[in-house]
């Protein structure tokens, strides 16, 4: 990006930050001033998403804001997730990963089987079914955009699949934190695993984890949900070549994908931040205790600001009018995909709980 491109994205980034500030202020007024709590029990991230959707659908977004909102969704979101790594210890990452990987594999296989059977009944285009499948099982829009070229998907099929994933991802993002708190009796490990495996987008998982943290004061849940989702994202490296093979088998067409291009590198940044935190604890806590603790707290607070800005940008960019043109069949597939991954996640976690007991 040259300096002119940076200037172009500034208005949208500022708009997302203003909406974050507005959401935080509105939250404080309701939770602290009106309800009398020391800390508001309402999630700022949820307010930012809802405000964004409200304003984004009432007002037409100008072109000079759109690029900055896209930048916020893509890059500031990833920066927020990387900063979340400051809260974790390396062994926690490995511990959560050992539980999450089998759960993720079970959810992916189950959704692919169910959608495959459903597509035969509804007779929707094969390419769209592939896009909805990978969006539901791996990492939402990113997976759809990475898969589209390798199966030759048309623009309208990509748009429909993204709108589908966005709709059901937002619904699950807003509902699942409260459902999971009730169903799993506020156990942070199981709630985090459920949120990380059952919600489509990385941004939506981060938002759901942040909503849960802000509502129920559980940063551990946010950590587990984030780790689970980032591990799930790495399955792109397996799923896209697999989908390319399945769709193009029997054809002489060259495979149009690159492992280097599709790997989610911000996962490495997240792991790097975990290492930095733990190296810093060893080196600085003895001699620069207050300074190092302040730096860690600043990075933690920044991660939540960045994530909430990304949630506001997503809300502002969600055009509900576009969903009317999709027809009901893709929505049926998307709903079944969302329900399947949610139910399979619950069943798998229940089996794990019973195994532990």
58 belongs to a structural domain: no
CA 20/CA 2 separation, integer angstroms: 27
Separation of CA 62 from chain center: 26
Within-domain flag for 102: yes
In a domain, 74, yes or no: no
For residues 212-247, b (16+ Cβ closer than 10 Å) or e, as one string? bbbbbebbbbbbbbbbbbbbbbbbbeebbeebbeeb
Which segment, 27-36, 81-90, 341-350, is predicted with the most confidence on average?
341-350
Q: Cα–Cα distance between 213 and 154 in angstroms, integer?
A: 39
Question: Is position 201 within any domain?
Answer: yes
181-213 confidence digits (pLDDT tens): 999 999 999 999 999 999 988 878 888 998 898
Joined together, the tokens standing for residue 106 give 């079970």
Rg (CA), the chain: 20
Which range is least confidently modeled, 21-30, 245-254, 322-331?
A: 245-254
DSSP string, 275-296: HHHHHHHHHHTTTSHHHHHHHH
Taking the C-alpha atoms of residue 120 and residue 116, their distance in angstroms, rounded to an integer, is: 7
Rama region for 183: left / alpha / beta (φ>0; ψ in -120 to 50; rest):
alpha
Looking at the structure of the chain, the number of domains it has is 1
Read off the pTM: 0.76
Find all residues with CB under 8 Å of 183, minimum gap 6, and list them: 194, 346
**pLDDT score for 14:** 93
Q: How far apart are the C-alpha atoms of 60 and 64, rounded to whole Å? A: 12
112: in domain: yes
Percentage above 90 pLDDT, the chain: 13
Structure confidence at residue 85 (pLDDT): 81
Range of the structural domain that residue 235 is part of: 89-303+321-356
The DSSP symbol for 323 reads: G
How many other CB atoms are found less than 10 A from the CB of residue 263? 15
Residue 163 has pLDDT above 80, yes or no: no
Residue 55 counted as domain residue = no
* CA dihedral of 190, 194, 196, 201, whole degrees rounded to 10: -160
Task: Say if 263 falls within a structural domain.
Answer: yes
Question: Per the domain annotation, does 57 fall within a domain?
Answer: no
Query: What is the structure's pLDDT at 17?
Result: 94
The SS3 of residue 64 is helix
Local confidence band at 256 (pLDDT 50, 70, 90 cut-offs): low
Read off the pLDDT of residues 296-311 as tens digits, 9 standing for 90 and up: 889 988 988 998 898 8
Give me the half-sphere count of Cα atoms (radius 13 Å) on the Cβ side of residue 128. Answer: 26
Confidence tier at 15 by pLDDT (50, 70, 90): very high
- Average pLDDT score, the chain: 81
């Amino acid at each position: 990006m040259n300096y002119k491109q940076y200037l172009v994205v500034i208005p949208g980034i500022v708009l997302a930050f203003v909406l974050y500030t507005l959401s935080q202020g509105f939250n404080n007024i309701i939770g602290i001033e009106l309800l009398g709590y020391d800390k508001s029990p309402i999630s700022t991230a949820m307010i930012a998403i809802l405000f964004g959707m409200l304003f984004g659908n009432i007002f037409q977004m100008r072109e000079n804001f759109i690029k900055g909102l896209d930048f916020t969704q893509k890059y500031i979101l990833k920066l927020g997730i990387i900063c979340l790594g400051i809260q974790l210890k390396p062994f926690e990452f490995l511990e959560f990963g050992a539980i999450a990987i089998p759960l993720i594999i079970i959810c992916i296989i189950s959704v692919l089987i169910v959608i495959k059977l459903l597509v035969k009944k509804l007779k929707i285009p094969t390419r769209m079914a592939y896009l909805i499948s990978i969006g539901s099982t791996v990492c939402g829009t990113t997976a759809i955009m990475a898969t589209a070229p390798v199966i030759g998907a048309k623009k309208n099929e990509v748009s429909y699949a993204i709108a589908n994933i966005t709709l059901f991802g937002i619904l699950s993002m807003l509902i699942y934190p409260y459902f999971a708190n009730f169903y799993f009796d506020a156990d942070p490990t199981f709630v985090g695993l459920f949120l990380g495996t059952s919600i489509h987008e990385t941004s939506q998982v981060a938002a759901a984890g942040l909503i849960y943290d802000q509502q129920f004061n559980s940063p551990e849940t946010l950590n587990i949900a984030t780790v689970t989702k980032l591990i799930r994202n790495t399955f792109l490296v397996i799923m896209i070549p697999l989908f390319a093979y399945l769709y193009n088998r029997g054809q002489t067409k060259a495979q149009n994908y690159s492992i280097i291009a599709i790997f989610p590198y911000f996962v490495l940044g997240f792991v790097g931040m975990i290492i930095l935190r733990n190296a810093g604890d060893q080196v600085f806590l003895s001699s620069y205790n207050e300074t190092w603790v302040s730096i860690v707290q600043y990075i933690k607070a920044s991660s939540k600001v960045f994530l909430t800005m990304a949630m506001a940008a997503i809300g502002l960019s969600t055009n509900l009018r576009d969903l009317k043109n999709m027809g009901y069949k893709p929505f049926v597939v998307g709903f079944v995909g969302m329900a399947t991954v949610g139910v399979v996640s619950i069943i798998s976690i229940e089996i794990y709980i019973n195994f532990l007991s």
